Chain A
């Protein structure tokens, strides 16, 4: 059974750094083709793709946010960590992690999301 769960602070202040952890089970990020990604959604707005890490440690980032994002994995702990620097109130959103199983597949399992509010 595949599950993903996001964890991190619910409230952060402007200019601070946010660290979110995605803890998953039911699959291994060392399996060829496996990926974990982060997506966010500001209240009432659309989904926004943020970053992705592949099984072989290749990493990809949103063009507009790449200077502020870092994604990493700890395969032994079944965790993926997303760090976002220099937060602003516009970064207030629900942050989701999700997995992609391999070539040709899409995001088939998602966490329930974690709401992060950035205060000024």
Chain B
């Protein structure tokens, strides 16, 4: 199975900060990576697919980059609504796998 490792596990940031979350795959997954945002008690919400494609309706402050084994999710200017847990997920090959999550907290 492909292992997905996110860093950091927790991140404290202020409104307006630029935030970067990293996701590493244990083997190449080309660009078949998605990023999701999850708030407490809610289902995950798709932000980015195919590593850098912004899902319709998602604010442009979210962006994704990377290919192969290293990927990043960047929030250019953190907003109050962005405090949540973020997950990466590979869909290059079965079984699909998720990262362990990165919780973005208020500083």
The range of chain B's interface size is: 20 to 34
A63 to B99, CA, bound (A): 16
Q: Flag whether B55 is at the interface (Cβ < 8 A).
A: yes
Known contacts A107-B34, A108-B55, A63 near B1 by CB under 8 Å: yes
Q: Flag whether A24 is at the interface (Cβ < 8 A).
A: no
Q: Tell me which of A46, A63, A96, A100 contacts B95 (CB under 8 A).
A: A63
- Contact across chains for B101 and A49 when beta carbons are under 8 A apart: no
A37 to B91, CA, bound (A): 12
Kindly provide the distance from the CB of B22 to the nearest chain A CB, expressed in whole angstroms.
16
Closest to B99 in A: A46
**Majority DSSP secondary structure for residues of B touching A:** loop
Q: Tell me which of B45, B49, B87 contacts A104 (CB under 8 A).
A: B49
Interface size on A, residues (CB 8 A): 23
Kindly provide the distance from the CB of B53 to the nearest chain A CB, expressed in whole angstroms.
8
Known contacts A107-B46, A112-B43, A37 near B96 by CB under 8 Å: yes
Q: Flag whether A31 is at the interface (Cβ < 8 A).
A: no
A107 to B48, CA, bound (A): 10
Which residues of chain A are within 8 angstroms of B96 by Cβ–Cβ distance?
37, 49, 52, 60
Q: 10 nearest interchain CB pairs?
A: A106-B34, A106-B49, A110-B43, A60-B94, A49-B96, A47-B98, A46-B100, A46-B101, A108-B46, A62-B95
| Given pairs A47-B87, A107-B44, A111-B43, 17 additional interface contacts (CB within 8 A) | A39-B98, A46-B98, A46-B99, A46-B101, A47-B44, A47-B101, A49-B96, A52-B94, A60-B95, A60-B96, A61-B95, A63-B1, A106-B46, A106-B49, A106-B50, A112-B43, A113-B43
